[in-house]
Chain A
Amino acid sequence: MRIDIHAYAGHWPFRKLPGNTCEALLQRMNRYGVDLSVVGNIHGIFYKNTQAANEELAEWVRPHGARLLPFAVINPSYAGWRYDLDASRKKLGMKGVRLYPQYHDYKPGDAVCIECVRAAGDLGMPVAFSLRLIDDRQRSWLDIDKELSLEEIAAVAEAVPRARIIVLHAMISTRPFNRQAADDEKKQQQLAEVLRKSNVLFDTIYASGCGVTGPNAYDLRAAIERYGPDKFAFGTASPFREYVSPFLRLEVAKEADAATKEMMRSGNARRFLQL
């Protein structure tokens, strides 16, 4: 079984995304052997009232309910978010929440965000943060240039210990994206200590299984040693990123045994999503 914890549908305003419908996602899933995908609506990043995007997504996934697990986009800095969260869970059937502090202009550590994470937990919903959506070097002049850090995610995890937090576009390093500065090992260890104890799940978008990494990647073997094999789950970032590399990243990881690979393919996601 294989579960993709990181997929989207909808339009991105700055570039045409091929295959950005639920139907196209299902075609990819069928072609490459993905059983379930967690999907969010990109429009929710840009609508002020994100609930309209959640309603759209509920319509899109309805014919494919068994294969697509919808996550609502909630903006806790906007009016009525508690109502939207509740309605997303109870009326629209959303399985989790995606938060975009950098796009909705608040900080993960803001009281309102912490409150939202707590409220989602009360409804049995995991919360996903995306460290970035695209590489900011290629951004549009209308797009933002802010990215979240793992430190910010760790602070949320410490503030709401029972929360289940999914980290998308996860760069497992204290080194920010695109910066060449050497990692501070002590800082890394402190961060790892917090995240290892927390209920977090990282996607494998930037994991390298072959033992050699470029600038925007981390060594999967070292990351598993540091954080534990229960912390990683297969993700594709479709349709932003192409669909093939995420498979290769895990398949070439010879150092990971069959049980660890199975955890990354589906076991960790099943546990986290309570499937």
Chain B
Amino acid sequence: MRVSRRELLTGTGAAAGVALQQARPQSAPKAPPLDLLKEALRYKKIDCHCHVGFSETKKLVEAADRLGIQKLVVSIPRGAKPEEFRASNDGVLKAVREYPHRLLGQCFLNPAFQKEAIEELMRCVGEGMVGPGELYDQVKIGDPLYYPIIEKCIELKAPILMHTRADLGLLRKGYRTAALPNTSIPDDFAAIGRRYPEAIFIEGHIGGGGDWEWMCKTIRDVPNVYLDTSGSVSDDGMIDFAVRTLGVERLLFATDLNFESGVGKILAAKLTEQQRRAIFYDNYAGILERSRAGRPRSQGGGHAN
């Protein structure tokens, strides 16, 4: 089996590790160190789970520049009441207008106010947003309050991004957790994914601090539930496990503001060049291409070009 120089250096390709071991005794002189930043900048990226409103938007875009992230899908997940979530979404729209070629919007909703939530979804989609997100912990994703919103998203072929936790305290009784009881867990995604197989659900942040093995194993057989790769946890082997369990096509690159580890965890995984490109860009770009929601191309930038 031949292993290219790039595969050897980056550890991509199944044989790379073995080849390294065979090629060089442990104390032999080192190969020139890989320029990891250069490697990071080599890939086109869409961050499908990020936020504005936590720092200056200019700083956010500059941070994305440093890691070579061309587009960020952003939201402000705040606001229980209709006037509050509308204000959050106005904040997103303002940021997107400021950086139309870099930012795509997601709209935050509280489905407890069902009529207002659907009106707000349609307003935001009309303004070019790609769909609802990051939906939070006011109502679980499996609650019937979400059904009309999900059905609207099916019509639009719009992805639905929602905050997820898989804390021990949420998965098993009797253990402490800081998460609110209505926080969606992987089991909720599996159930709603089966109820609406034509919907596109994005389970938020594999590295959001919970049990990512549980997360992957729970949604294994629900192909319309995607997993985003964001979160502060960047355990070694996490992305490799997700690829093995879900398939590379169900993983979507994201940072949730953790830029270095967001990119680093994909580069560190033992992936082929094509798999890296799929996670960093192609998978989410494909979802947007198929969607009827999002900014019209004529208004600058298109979805994911």
Contact = CB atoms under 8 A, between A and B. Distances in A.
Contacts of A212: 54-55, 59-60, 63, 257, 259
A63 B28 CA distance: 12
B191 interface: no
Interface stretch (B85-93, B104-112, B126-134, B233-241): B233-241
Contacts of A217: 232, 258
Interface string B128-171: 00000000000000000000000000000000000001111100
A214 B237 contact: no
A235 B132 CA distance: 38
Interface residues of A, number: 54
A12 to B, nearest CB: 10
Given A30-B24, A135-B233, A244 B258 contact: no
A32 B178 contact: no
A64 B237 CA distance: 25
A208 to B, nearest CB: 6
Nearest to A2: B33
A242 B9 CA distance: 16
Nearest to A216: B232
Given A240-B236, A245-B264, A31 B9 contact: yes
A23 interface: yes
Nearest to A35: B30
A178 B208 CA distance: 10
B236 A247 contact: no
A247 B237 CA distance: 18
Nearest to B33: A33
Contacts, number: 163
Contacts of B221: none
A141 B168 CA distance: 7
Contacts of B17: 27
Contacts of B31: 30-31
Interface stretch (B34-42, B114-122, B278-286): B34-42
A160 interface: no
A67 interface: yes
Interface in B65-103: 66-67
B36 A242 contact: no
Given A137-B168, A248-B263, A211 B235 contact: no
A27, A63, A216, A244 pick with most chain B CB within 10 angstroms: A244
A81 to B, nearest CB: 31
Interface in B1-39: 9, 11, 17, 20-21, 24, 26-27, 30-34, 36-37
Interface stretch (B192-200, B209-217, B287-295, B296-304): B209-217
B295 to A, nearest CB: 24
Contacts of B175: 141, 145
A120 to B, nearest CB: 29
Interface of B: 9, 11, 17, 20-21, 24, 26-27, 30-34, 36-37, 40, 54-55, 59-60, 62-63, 66-67, 165-169, 172, 175-178, 208-213, 231-240, 255-261, 263-265, 267-269
Top-9 shortest CB links A-B: A33-B33, A245-B264, A242-B268, A137-B209, A216-B232, A244-B264, A210-B63, A214-B257, A212-B63
Interface of A: 2, 15-19, 23, 26-27, 29-33, 63-64, 66-67, 134-135, 137-141, 145, 178-179, 206, 208-217, 238-249, 251-252, 254
